[in-house]
Structure 1
């Protein structure tokens, strides 16, 4: 989609003879979230400023343009121009990328964002994105168990509980601990908790606060038992059809520079929402090193190995990528 502007060059914008390329960007976060206001909006503004107004990006938050679990496919097909979604929202679509989500690999959003971007840049997971033009990777902070009533101190406490899983990785671990994993999009979680459809959820602090789920949950187990990968990608034909100078502007504002910005935002928001819940008197249970905790080590390692075995069964070298992810984890450790 393109249009024209009547602003003069003296105003720092395009002339009427210059074509404006308008890109539609779809994501599922609320319009008031820090992801929208602190990451996406400044990114869009930078693209527009550096292109002298020749690039215009329209942001569609709250999954108004594409459903959360089909946003990547929508970008691949050209239904949207740019999209952001969790890899875990499309089960089996990004099996190698999701190895980075396994427990013990990441303790912060900054580390997770760095890991994913490095694995992509090094070619270890890039084959999973060949039908689009990947812009940058992000990672949320460690997953936390949030429950309405029953605190979770040990894996046994999850038995009989219905816990929302954000991905296959987290689902494997919840099941290994004895809980029942339930797949639900983030936009449905508030009402599902209200109605008792689920007893709790597994999600980092930042999106838990963004979706106001901290209003309903009152017990929280801070345990880095999985991490969440996130992508931002662009329709390949749309990117390749741009003039070279506009491609360069997009390239200069993609990759690790954006991974770092997003990771910093997530870590800041994680701390803010956790402190707010602590201040209102919620139960806080801290398990900072679960792989060395006698109660948690077994289920976490079992869930991890189950996932890697499933990846191997697809004919992919899950073991090799797991080793690469461990190396990336070490190099990205803050």
Structure 2
């Protein structure tokens, strides 16, 4: 009887202690920054992620999402997380050419077949390099959009058609490709791109499909190359000081929401939205066209040199580019996202 009472008392004490510890958790409000428009399909996914984090911390971590560059320009989102302007930032590493050479390999042409498995693949791959390349922030996860392509004022069939064109590239890696083919790069964030095209500052853009109508770019371009040319890698990163200020329980909850599984969950609705853009652009006034096998081979041959440029930049980080690329391709194969 005494043993039963003692065990019961211990259990009760542990329950009270857990309750007290839970009561002592310091509430924190997280500022989440997303530079895409409020109606973009990524934002509901980020809100769902935040709601799950809130539940996992018994409502002690709550969040407010600031879309549409409310906290700062798209180009600045990595530094915003580093400096604490935001607690979490949605970052396109390719907006700062040369700064993140390892992850830039994911935007080399003709690697990714889709964004669902592709997001799991890039996240699982990049985790081994993130601490080195993005040491100013806490890496949460990486993901990609559904494969994008050229959308232009004129029909682009062969790599030689790029010569003399002004093109807004999605990433620095695609920008290097444009330069190698004789084109000129026009730098602009996604929200600025329609204006650049409308004013004739750019002749074409590399962009995923569903976002062409979303950003109003369908009003200024008419030709769409139907080929999975590239993807853009993105990361969701956290301010280190904010993470360090959290309790152990809250940190664990954040860690549990910074996983490969969450990378795919957050990316999937956007992936489906972008894929649906193919049908939206198949309408009067637009031409969606496929390449012949010969034309596709010409593109593969013409863009193959981009990997050598990327490899040179990666060597400067102390990494072996051959091993880095082999690791990425193995991850893509594992998650059934390789072309």
**Shorter-normalised TM range:** 0.7 to 0.9
Q: In the alignment, what sits opposite 1:142?
A: 147
Rate the CA distance shift 1:288–1:116 in 2: closer, same or farther, 3 A: farther
Which digits, 9 at most, give the CA deviation of each residue in 1:197-229, with x for residues without a partner?
A: 101101112333332212322110122232210
CA distance in 2: counterparts of 1:47 and 1:289, whole angstroms: 47
Tell whether 2:307 aligns with 1:301.
Answer: no
Q: In the alignment, what sits opposite 1:6?
A: none
Partner SS state of residue 329, structure 1: helix
User: Match for 1:173 among 168, 177, 180?
Assistant: 177
Which digits, 9 at most, give the CA deviation of each residue in 1:233-269, with x for residues without a partner?
A: 1011211211112122222222112211233223211
Rate the CA distance shift 1:269–1:120 in 2: closer, same or farther, 3 A: same
**1:37-186 equivalence runs, <5 A:** 37=44, 39-121=45-127, 123-147=128-152, 149-186=153-190
CA distance in 2: counterparts of 1:16 and 1:249, whole angstroms: 16
Tell whether 2:279 aligns with 1:272.
Answer: no
Q: How many residues align?
A: 316
Q: In the alignment, what sits opposite 2:37?
A: 30
Is the CA contact 1:103–1:226 (under 8 Å) kept in the aligned structure 2? yes
CA distance in 1: counterparts of 2:317 and 2:53, whole angstroms: 39
CA distance in 1: counterparts of 2:307 and 2:261, whole angstroms: 30
**CA deviation after TM superposition for structure 1 residue 18, in Å:** 6.3
CA distance in 2: counterparts of 1:16 and 1:244, whole angstroms: 14
Q: In the alignment, what sits opposite 1:8?
A: none
Q: In the alignment, what sits opposite 2:13?
A: none
Q: In the alignment, what sits opposite 2:256?
A: 252
**CA deviation after TM superposition for structure 1 residue 171, in Å:** 0.8
CA distance in 1: counterparts of 2:306 and 2:291, whole angstroms: 18
**CA deviation after TM superposition for structure 1 residue 79, in Å:** 2.2
Is the CA contact 1:137–1:255 (under 8 Å) kept in the aligned structure 2? no
Is the CA contact 2:211–2:277 (under 8 Å) kept in the aligned structure 1? no
CA distance in 1: counterparts of 2:196 and 2:335, whole angstroms: 36
Partner SS state of residue 210, structure 2: helix
Partner SS state of residue 75, structure 1: helix
After TM superposition, the score normalised by the length of structure 1 is 0.87
**1:164-313 equivalence runs, <5 A:** 164-287=168-291, 293-313=296-316
Rate the CA distance shift 1:101–1:271 in 2: closer, same or farther, 3 A: same
CA distance in 2: counterparts of 1:106 and 1:212, whole angstroms: 26
What's the Cα RMSD here? Answer: 2.2
After TM superposition, the score normalised by the length of structure 2 is 0.86
Higher mean displacement: 281-290 or 178-187: 281-290
Gaps of 5+ in 1: 1-14
Is the CA contact 1:173–1:304 (under 8 Å) kept in the aligned structure 2? no
CA distance in 2: counterparts of 1:182 and 1:315, whole angstroms: 31
Q: In the alignment, what sits opposite 2:19?
A: none
Rate the CA distance shift 1:262–1:77 in 2: closer, same or farther, 3 A: same
**CA deviation after TM superposition for structure 1 residue 306, in Å:** 2.2
Partner SS state of residue 46, structure 1: helix
Is the CA contact 1:105–1:325 (under 8 Å) kept in the aligned structure 2? no
CA distance in 1: counterparts of 2:291 and 2:183, whole angstroms: 18
CA distance in 2: counterparts of 1:322 and 1:18, whole angstroms: 43
